[in-house]
Amino acid sequence: MYHWPAVVVATPAHSGVGDLLSYRSGAALAAGTLVRVPLGAREVLGIVWRCDDAPPEGLAPGQARDVAQVLDALPPLDAGWRELVAFAARYYQRGLGEVALAALPPPLRDLTPEQLARRLKRPAKAAAAEIAPDHERALSPEQAGALAAIDGATAPVLLFGTTGSGKTEVYLQACAHALASETTAQVLVLVPEINLTPQLEERFRARFATVHGHDAVVSLHSGMTPPQRLAAWIAAHTGRARIVLGTRLAVFASLPGLRLIVVDEEHDPSYKSQDGARYSARDLAIYRARVAGARVVLGSATPSLESWHASEQGRYRRLDMPSRIGGGALPRLRLVDMNHQPKGALIAPPLLAAMAERVARGEQCLVLINRRGYAPVLACHACGWKSGCPHCSAYRVFHKLDRTLRCHHCGFTQRVPRACPDCGNLDIEPIGRGTEQVEEQLARLLAEARRPDGGPARVARMDADTTKAKGSLEAQLAALHAGEVDVLVGTQMIAKGHDFRRITLVAAINADASLFASDHRAPERLFALLLQAAGRAGRDAAHSAASELWVQTWHPEHKLFAHLRAHDHPGFAKAELADRQAAAMPPFAHQALLRADARTQEAAQGFLKAASRAAQALPQREAVTLYPAVPLTIQRVANVERAQLLVESDSRAALQRFLTAWQPLLLQARSAPEARGLIRYAVDVDPLSV
Ligand SMILES: Nc1ncnc2c1ncn2[C@@H]1O[C@H](COP(=O)(O)OP(=O)(O)OP(=O)(O)O)[C@@H](O)[C@H]1O
Ligand SMILES: [Zn+2]
């Protein structure tokens, strides 16, 4: 007698092929079993979703194809995992096969059962180096209160702990409790960008790998090699790994013993995927914890407005840790009104003096600027030429160190021209500032400053350009921790999560652009960035009294600064949520974007218009607002024209029903005459920027 497993395979999105394909098998296969099945002329990896006793209706005898191989060396993927990927596919409007197979480590796709069995037998690699064990610390009263509340929580927890309040120690001890609850218990710890916090990974290893075995803590992120990812995934799937520490993709790790999920820096935008299934790992973590009956803790000093709102409504349980470990003060805000500074000053004189003072005391400064490169544009004042990218509607950035013009959108790079390409004028000049220029100028402006040992101030830079090489970021962070740098200039990566001990001054030198951006999330982002950046200063209580956050602005009266001065995230959140409510913006409304990429802007918008027209006939149309198609702010990237259409509803469920009903019509709109030239389209549910 035959069995008829329905198997999920990776079919391309919108291919029209169903998600579940029926095969024939001599043996009954448990749901979640990994198999290799024929698909067209190929043989592909699939996941058994269910197994029927009778062939599917309408299948002619002789049409059935057999399951080629069963990867039975691996236990099946459990029901919780399957429910998670099914939900993610549904909610983010993607194919089940696409989401489910993308959630598995890539090398699994090509392994035969024999290769896999061998892989599983291979003993885990011995630990590279002996790690000194890290012992639990005696908790502060606030930490102890938070930990007890987490242990007893039935709802998701929002751990609202100021910068330097010791959230990490709470996570560590909550993990220890979860692991102690059952011998098979597992914990998932999500972090925004694993490379940015090598310290955190070390702490988890030192605390747990020294107790539970060196493969009890594994990482999972996109920077790992495929074999490393496979090994970590298998360790998690088979229960050998007790703690998985990873970036957003790790939310899909197979964790049969999952008891606790921690989402550190939950406000970070990198939890939202920007391609494929555009999922939010933070939101999926909440869903996953519910399905698994696990606890979930979202932690941040600057919670997202979504999470804050949920905690106000009582859907999340908020725990406050307002004090810094050691009782240190938070940095004092110093606003520099640029209207009263010398014209063209990059760094206002009082700020410069304050920095020189820190250098003289052997303290460190961080200088934050949101652009890398030397200058965002190179221009000719004679004819008006600007360093536009021929392939994008954006300027190429001037990088002085290697004398290039580089497009940060498509990567197109050329040598800097000697003269204006249009008029031959030799006098072409940079406009605006980037990290390279700030580093160069600060070195010059601080030339007179002396360290306590009499040496000159050491200025360094940290951004995507200086941290490209493997290990360079770790090396630069180590140099800063070791006190080999006095002033560090960098992009927002220097503001994230680091536990620096000797920083007493943080400066944001051109934050204004975000004050008046059209994106409704811009103020939230800026406020979080500035508070997080400030949080890098004064972490050592001994130096905290003199720690300062300097912000150069042309708009010192802006209301955001009043909340910043008071380190008042609750006040800021309250005001911002009131604005959002008045404007019917998320989290008071729910949004999705239909995005289109095409050879021409007409085609991109043509597709969106056809899709919009088709939607009018849907009964679910009533509950949503469809906005007109518009080009993206950066309309063309790498010669692809981009446009989008916003869909909004005050009910999440109604928006979901509409999107599901709309999907098949999108497939048809593709072939509308005005969509000729369309390259691809995608739905982005809960987009981060519109
Ligand atoms: N109970 C404790 N006793 C002594 N030191 C502690 C304790 N808890 C935490 N610390 C130390 O306090 C410092 C700040 O803690 P941590 O880095 O966890 O802060 P955080 O809340 O994560 O801040 P941020 O949001 O800025 O990342 C660290 O150096 C940590 O080792
Ligand atoms: Zn370009």
User: Which domains, and CATH codes, for the chain?
Assistant: 4-121 (3.40.1440.60), 141-325 (3.40.50.300), 328-372+435-582 (3.40.50.300), 375-433 (no CATH), 590-685 (3.30.70.100)
Q: Which ligand 1 atom minimizes the distance to the CA of 501?
A: 29
Query: Residue 316 corresponds to which tokens in the numbers above?
Result: 């999340």
Confidence of residue 13 (pLDDT cuts 50, 70, 90): low
> Can you give the pLDDT at residue 656?
97
- Note the ligand closest to the C-alpha atom of 533: 1
pTM: 0.94
For 15, residues 6+ apart whose C-beta sits below 8 A from its C-beta are 95
> Can you give the pLDDT at residue 129?
62
> Can you give the pLDDT at residue 124?
61
**Ligand 1: residue whose CA is nearest its atom 30:** 166
Tell me, in angstroms, the distance from the centre of ligand 2 to residue 347's CA: 30
**39 or 658, greater pLDDT:** 658
- Pocket residue to mutate for ligand 1, from 189, 298, 325, 502, most atoms within 8 A of Cβ: 325
**Half-sphere exposure in the Cβ direction for 598 (13 Å, CA):** 23
Tell me, in angstroms, the distance from the centre of ligand 2 to residue 641's CA: 12
**Ligand 1: residue whose CA is nearest its atom 27:** 497
Whole-number average pLDDT of the chain: 92
Question: Which string of b and e fits 269-285 if b means at least 16 CB within 10 Å?
Answer: ebbbbeeebbbbbbbbb
pLDDT > 90 fraction of the chain, expressed in percent and rounded: 78
In the predicted structure, residue 12 carries a pLDDT above the cut 70:
no
Cis bond before residue 587 (omega within 30° of 0): yes
Is 19 within 8 Å of 64 (Cβ atoms)?
Answer: no
For 472, residues 6+ apart whose C-beta sits below 8 A from its C-beta are 466
- Pocket residue to mutate for ligand 1, from 189, 262, 499, most atoms within 8 A of Cβ: 499
Query: Tens digit of pLDDT for each residue in 612-668?
Result: 999 999 999 999 999 999 999 899 999 999 999 999 999 999 999 999 999 999 999
Is 487 within 8 Å of 442 (Cβ atoms)?
Answer: yes
* 60: DSSP letter: -
Lowest average pLDDT, out of 55-64, 70-79, 351-360, goes to 55-64
**Ligand 1: residue whose CA is nearest its atom 10:** 166
The mean per-residue pLDDT over the stretch 274-283 comes to 94
Tell the residue number behind the tokens 């469809």, with chain if given: 626
Query: Tens digit of pLDDT for each residue in 373-407?
Result: 999 999 999 999 999 999 999 999 999 999 999 99
Tell the residue number behind the tokens 């043989």, with chain if given: 43
Question: Is residue 410 annotated as involved in ligand binding?
Answer: yes
- Note the ligand closest to the C-alpha atom of 405: 2
Confidence of residue 202 (pLDDT cuts 50, 70, 90): confident
Tell me, in angstroms, the distance from the centre of ligand 2 to residue 36's CA: 41
Confidence of residue 510 (pLDDT cuts 50, 70, 90): confident
Confidence of residue 209 (pLDDT cuts 50, 70, 90): confident
Query: Residue 185 corresponds to which tokens in the numbers above?
Result: 């218990």
Could you report the predicted ipTM of this complex, rounded to two decimals? 0.97
Q: Which ligand 1 atom minimizes the distance to the CA of 300?
A: 25
The mean per-residue pLDDT over the stretch 474-501 comes to 90
**240 or 123, greater pLDDT:** 240
Tell me, in angstroms, the distance from the centre of ligand 1 to residue 632's CA: 41
The mean per-residue pLDDT over the stretch 88-106 comes to 94
Question: What residues are in contact with ligand 1 under a 6 Å CB criterion?
Answer: 137-140, 143, 161, 163-169, 301, 325, 497, 499, 535
Tell me, in angstroms, the distance from the centre of ligand 2 to residue 565's CA: 39
Tell me, in angstroms, the distance from the centre of ligand 1 to residue 539's CA: 9
In the predicted structure, residue 214 carries a pLDDT above the cut 80:
no
In terms of phi and psi (left: phi > 0; alpha: psi -120 to 50; beta: otherwise), the region of 161 is beta
- Pocket residue to mutate for ligand 1, from 168, 202, 321, 536, most atoms within 8 A of Cβ: 168
Q: Which ligand 1 atom minimizes the distance to the CA of 143?
A: 1
- Note the ligand closest to the C-alpha atom of 407: 2
Tell me, in angstroms, the distance from the centre of ligand 1 to residue 249's CA: 26
**Ligand 1: residue whose CA is nearest its atom 14:** 164
**What is d(CA 279, CA 272) in angstroms, rounded to the nearest whole number?**
6
Question: Is residue 365 annotated as involved in ligand binding?
Answer: no
Confidence of residue 473 (pLDDT cuts 50, 70, 90): confident
In the predicted structure, residue 337 carries a pLDDT above the cut 90:
yes
